[in-house]
Structure 1
């Protein structure tokens, strides 16, 4: 699998793209919001083997 990283080193604007075989497919992720110790929002775009565009929000709470 081929991976590439871009944008900022971490936090909002950081990106990761991948391209692999039929099991891994191809796509791209980008952090669109980052609140330390609280929230991360990711834009997730799949290209192959199917096209899909999603948002994933992770809300963190101490236990």
Structure 2
């Protein structure tokens, strides 16, 4: 899509879609695997709505590294959709999608982020900026899901 920047990472996880869906759609579960959990030990979190349900939200506010923002679950089907807004250190609106594809006794998990192209995205590679975080998050998710 023109005017859109996409970052995507994929991992094969030895767990069923049914095991993975709640880890992704129930926002309080992100504390178990999110790559950003160790950025601020004093991070302030607020959750609203029924965990795992469309419309449930998570807002956070933290130090300079953690920033501030909000996530809202937009879809729970064969994967999970999330609308993500950052308010600090910069403003950004993004669509996240976790695609879960069965692969034998495992699941191929693709973490995809789409964001409108802005002036700064012409000079800063979002893939380099967050791609490593997505890889770390998928490794953490794999560890959590496969330990269960």
Q: Report the counterpart of residue 101 of structure 2 in structure 1.
A: 61
Q: Which runs of 5+ in 1 are unaligned?
A: none
1:1-44 CA distance string (max 9 Å, x none): 10000022222111110000101000000001111xx1110000
Looking at structure 2, the residues matched to 8 and 30 of structure 1 have their Cα atoms a distance apart, in angstroms, of: 11
Q: 5 Å matches for 1:22-41? A: 22-35=64-77, 38-41=78-81
What TM-score results when the alignment is normalised by the length of structure 2? 0.40
Looking at structure 1, the residues matched to 44 and 97 of structure 2 have their Cα atoms a distance apart, in angstroms, of: 26
The structure with the largest strand share of the pair is 1
SS at 2:69 equivalent:
strand
Q: Which runs of 5+ in 2 are unaligned?
A: 1-42, 104-148
The structure with the largest helix share of the pair is 2
Aligned length, in residue pairs: 61
Structure ranking higher on relative contact order (CA contacts 8 Å, 6+ apart): 2
The alignment yields a C-alpha RMSD, in angstroms, of 0.8
Moved over 6 A (4+): none
* Largest Rg, 1 or 2: 2
Q: Report the counterpart of residue 54 of structure 2 in structure 1.
A: 12
Looking at structure 2, the residues matched to 21 and 60 of structure 1 have their Cα atoms a distance apart, in angstroms, of: 32
Q: Report the counterpart of residue 87 of structure 2 in structure 1.
A: 47
